Structure 1
Amino acid sequence: MPISDTKARKALPAAKPYRIPDADGLYLDVRPSGKKYWRIRYFLHGKENLYTPGQYPQVTLKEARQQRDAVKHNASQGIDPKALQQEERDRSRRSQEDSFESIALEWWEKHQPRWTSHYAQQVKKGIEREMRPAFGSKNIRQITPADVLRLVQKVEARGAPSVAMLVRQWIAQIYRYAASTLRADHDPAAPIEGAVQRPPVQHSKSLAAEDLATLANQIDTKGGWRINAIAMHVLMRTMLRTGELRQGRWEEVDFMRAEWRIPGERMKMRRPHVVPLSKQVVELLQELHGYTGHMPLMFPSYRHPAKPMSNTTINKALERMGWQGRFSGHGFRSTASTLLNEHGWRGDLIEKQLAHMPGDKVRAAYNHADYLKERREMLQWYSDYIEAIMQGAAAPLVPARMRA
């Protein structure tokens, strides 16, 4: 008599395994542990075999009978049901191993040593916060252009078009990597390249001399935590990017030479950069050393000292000082560039101090300290210039040999 679902459900374990038969070779194997497994007896090439559809009740009676019919049919055609089952398991395993998320993280691990730590964190957040919820567990071959379009439109709709463009670009790079390792044969991000438009570039605003003087005078009284105030003073006088300054380490500073040597992995252009330090900056860093010199980081986070200060710290300090919407931390670079150009300093010195990529990349790779003497003189002049305008005095003279 065929088994019923009620009989299968109420079957109790015994001291030894026992069977409850259904029909055509299907039966329920009840184990002493209380677990119940469906088994199917079938013959292949004249030999008896046993196939296990799964455990009850995860596999229902109806599903077990459907599998029995499929097993019997395949065996009658000379096809081994166990081999098919193993192929399906292997396919499922490969599908998990070739999920978008696993390959995206593999791509990230492979490339992040070549990136700055800030950019590597930015890409990691893009994978974890944007891509993973959208299609992280999907097999990478199953993702369509429509899937990618929905994701970038969702990001754009929340007011982050720049992030949407980056996400599409990163997805394209992930697929190029997957294709190079023979795990993908198409890039679903390619057809939607123009779906998100780049927003107008908002260049960092430069301050006029009188506004720079006002800001410089406010830092000590309104800049908040002294380490943040020092960070703004140093940023103002070195022309560094905020990320390069925030992640500074004491091992990079040579007080005897009055130099800050930043390794290439922390520079945007991936080349070492030597920053000559003016007397004023040396004094500021000596003061800072009294606060943080016992730690590796020069500008640690207030709440998490093992990490550098947040990328929003300086901008928030400027907002509290009343400069919201008028000026940002990155604006110190453009301000210095503008004022140095206005006073006639040679453009090649200014560009070198900004660590911009020159036309001759090969030469730059082997001569990262060029113009060091001239740049030292320029940055000392600029620090003296800031002191002068803070006091309402005239700007110091620019040496004729340094003029454009």
Structure 2
Amino acid sequence: MALSDTAIRTAKPAEKPRKLADEKGMYLLIQPGGAKLWRLDYRFDSKRKTLALGSYPDTGLALAREKRDAARKLLAQDIDPAAQRKQDKHERKVSQENTFEAVARDWMKTKGKEWTAGYATKTRACLEHHALPSLGNKPITEITAPQLLTMLRVIEKRGTVDMAHRIQQHCGAVFRYAIATGLLSADPTPSLRGALSTVKTEHYAALTDPKDFADLLRSIDEYRGEVTTKIAMQLLAGTFQRTKEVRFAEWSQFDFDTALWRIPAEVMKMREAHLVPLSTQMLAHLKELQALTGGNRLLFPSSTNRNRPISENTVTYALARLGFKGRMTGHGFRSIASTILNEQGYRHDVIERQLAHAERNQVRAAYNRAEYLFERKAMMQEWGDYLDKLKAGAAVIQLRGEAA
């Protein structure tokens, strides 16, 4: 006979636990101390089991029967309700422990081993300032694309569209890390494709007329500021590497016998070691510099701290003092070299390798590093000779006898 609320409420405890049967395997277990506990007896895999359904009066008769029926539906699907409950509890625990912030910090700790200190600091600051305040305490499994977009739109409305895109990329990396570690099944960021404003690409200022470039080269040679700054600009012009790679250059990276500059992977933007052939002109500039800073680790140490490189604005300010403010940047030397070398017929792949642009095909990239070194050595010497001719006032000239 089924139980009633009155029978449950008035039931008294005995010296030993006693059961008041309801129906479909459910009963009320009354403990000697007065506790009234709902239980469901069932069989699974030929084993007798008991499932707790709550305690009375917190769990009333109607709610207890709902829980019983839900358990019986699982049994009909050949699912053990006790095991399912344990799994649900585990998932809730994992979800609560693995907030977006917890996963993001674990991602930064893991991936940070591959990053430079500067990039790690910037990435952490981006997430801490923009993403963690709104998403940090949410379980990563519960974050939806609309929630992510709401956070990004706030950043976008501040006028920092590029930052919104950067944060989206960082968040996507965190979600993919969660997938890889078994905490998440899907990344919500691809759903946001096209939802943010397009970033307007700003090109680095660079001279386009060879005559203007020649004026710049002569101005650099006549620079009356710090000699180290002058040679930094000459190294940028002669090797067209990135300003960061020049700023952080160390004497141990240079081999004067083989005329090679070996830039380690941790300095490179693409995290891949890079070989830079040096022309005789560059070797002469470096030997001049060696007399000034050869006793230091860095080629271009800061004047205030010899263990730190010159600032990223040193070359920019020097170019401005030479009269090229707004017309030329340190990065502009790369654009100039790429344009001239391509126009004069050098192989595109050789130029791209010298610029250390990424090669998507990893097998081909490894092959190209070896294949192009001989050609790059010849090209860089011809480039050094070309710069000398420009400075001497030559008209528009070919780097070599005829374009190849």
Query: Normalized against structure 1, the TM-score is what?
Result: 0.69
Match runs of 1:325-344 below 5 Å: 325-344=326-345
Larger displacement relative to structure 2 (248-257 or 117-126) = 117-126
Aligned-pair Cα RMSD in Å:
3.6
Structure 2 Cα separation of the partners of residues 397 and 186 of structure 1 = 55
Conserved? CA contact 1:179–1:185, under 8 Å:
yes
CA gap 1:398/1:167 in 2 versus in 1, 3 angstroms: same
Residue 172 of structure 1 corresponds to which residue in structure 2? 172
Residue 391 of structure 1 corresponds to which residue in structure 2? 392
Residue 251 of structure 2 corresponds to which residue in structure 1? 250
Percent of aligned positions that are identical: 38
Larger displacement relative to structure 2 (91-100 or 203-212) = 91-100
Conserved? CA contact 1:381–1:396, under 8 Å:
no
Letter in 1 for 2:385: D
Structure 2 Cα separation of the partners of residues 122 and 355 of structure 1 = 23
Structure 2 Cα separation of the partners of residues 394 and 320 of structure 1 = 26
Structure 2 Cα separation of the partners of residues 183 and 106 of structure 1 = 12
Residue 14 of structure 1 corresponds to which residue in structure 2? none
Residue 191 of structure 1 corresponds to which residue in structure 2? 191
Match runs of 1:292-371 below 5 Å: 292-358=293-359, 361-371=362-372
Larger displacement relative to structure 2 (233-242 or 382-391) = 382-391
Larger displacement relative to structure 2 (387-396 or 275-284) = 387-396
Shift of 1:75: 11
Residue 289 of structure 1 corresponds to which residue in structure 2? 290
Letter in 2 for 1:371: Y
Secondary structure class of the residue paired with 2:390: helix
Structure 1 Cα separation of the partners of residues 275 and 379 of structure 2 = 14
Conserved? CA contact 2:278–2:380, under 8 Å:
yes
Structure 2 Cα separation of the partners of residues 185 and 334 of structure 1 = 43
CA gap 1:298/1:180 in 2 versus in 1, 3 angstroms: same
CA gap 1:247/1:198 in 2 versus in 1, 3 angstroms: farther
Secondary structure class of the residue paired with 2:276: strand
Letter in 2 for 1:378: M
Structure 1 Cα separation of the partners of residues 223 and 116 of structure 2 = 32
Structure 1 Cα separation of the partners of residues 342 and 141 of structure 2 = 53
Letter in 1 for 2:192: I
Query: Structure 1 residue 379 and structure 2 residue 383: aligned?
Result: no
Conserved? CA contact 2:145–2:189, under 8 Å:
yes
Structure 2 Cα separation of the partners of residues 134 and 311 of structure 1 = 33
CA gap 1:357/1:183 in 2 versus in 1, 3 angstroms: closer
Larger displacement relative to structure 2 (196-205 or 275-284) = 196-205
Residue 112 of structure 2 corresponds to which residue in structure 1? 112
Query: Normalized against structure 2, the TM-score is what?
Result: 0.69
Conserved? CA contact 2:98–2:140, under 8 Å:
yes
Deviations 1:331-351 (A, max 9, x none): 101101222233343434323
Structure 2 Cα separation of the partners of residues 45 and 229 of structure 1 = 90
Structure 1 Cα separation of the partners of residues 220 and 55 of structure 2 = 79
Structure 2 Cα separation of the partners of residues 320 and 48 of structure 1 = 90
Conserved? CA contact 2:206–2:329, under 8 Å:
no
Residue 129 of structure 1 corresponds to which residue in structure 2? 129
CA gap 1:386/1:118 in 2 versus in 1, 3 angstroms: farther
CA gap 1:182/1:362 in 2 versus in 1, 3 angstroms: closer
CA gap 1:323/1:72 in 2 versus in 1, 3 angstroms: farther
Residue 217 of structure 1 corresponds to which residue in structure 2? 218
Residue 31 of structure 1 corresponds to which residue in structure 2? none
Residue 280 of structure 2 corresponds to which residue in structure 1? 279
Letter in 1 for 2:332: G
Structure 2 Cα separation of the partners of residues 393 and 96 of structure 1 = 71
Conserved? CA contact 2:386–2:399, under 8 Å:
no
Letter in 2 for 1:375: R
Shift of 1:171: 0.6
Shift of 1:303: 4.3
Shift of 1:190: 3.7
Residue 155 of structure 2 corresponds to which residue in structure 1? 155
Unmatched 5+ stretches in structure 1:
1-43, 50-69, 79-89
Letter in 2 for 1:392: G
CA gap 1:374/1:125 in 2 versus in 1, 3 angstroms: same
Residue 265 of structure 2 corresponds to which residue in structure 1? 264
Conserved? CA contact 2:350–2:372, under 8 Å:
yes
Secondary structure class of the residue paired with 1:261: strand
Shift of 1:108: 1.8
Secondary structure class of the residue paired with 2:130: helix
Shift of 1:236: 0.9
CA gap 1:344/1:365 in 2 versus in 1, 3 angstroms: closer
Letter in 2 for 1:198: T
Shift of 1:240: 1.0
Match runs of 1:64-103 below 5 Å: 97-103=97-103
Letter in 1 for 2:154: K
Structure 2 Cα separation of the partners of residues 210 and 244 of structure 1 = 27
Shift of 1:383: 1.8
Residue 238 of structure 1 corresponds to which residue in structure 2? 239
Letter in 1 for 2:281: Q
Q: How many residues align?
A: 330
Secondary structure class of the residue paired with 2:261: strand
Secondary structure class of the residue paired with 2:384: helix
Structure 1 Cα separation of the partners of residues 314 and 97 of structure 2 = 40
Structure 2 Cα separation of the partners of residues 346 and 94 of structure 1 = 54
Shift of 1:72: 9.5
Deviations 1:320-365 (A, max 9, x none): 4443332222110110122223334343432331223457641331
Conserved? CA contact 1:274–1:369, under 8 Å:
no
Letter in 2 for 1:152: L
Letter in 1 for 2:112: Q
